[in-house]
Amino acid sequence: MDINKNQIYAPDMPMGLDIALAKNEAAKNYFYALSEPSQKQIIQHAHTVQSKEEMQAYADSLVVSYPMH
């Protein structure tokens, strides 16, 4: 399965998460390497984020909290 890194599985991705991932290449790569259910879980949590700063911290935390092996 080819993954287009310009598209996501879930159409309801918050714009803030998309922007935050664009600012962190490692987080973006991590996110797009995840399964669809895992991406949706991250997107669901992102809907609870209240500010740009918090969204960037959340995106940045993806690679810190969940490093790929």
Q: Which pLDDT score, from 0 to 100, does residue 68 have?
A: 55
Kindly list the domain boundaries of the chain, sorted by start residue: 15-65
d(Cα 22, Cα 69) in Å, to the nearest integer? Answer: 22
11-60 confidence digits (pLDDT tens): 688 999 999 999 999 999 999 999 989 999 999 999 999 999 999 999 99
Residue 10 scores a pLDDT above 70? no
Residue 56: what residue type?
Q
| Exposed / middle / buried, residue 31 (Cβ in 10 Å: 0-12, 13-18, 19+) | buried
The token pair that represents 47 in the structure block:
């809907």
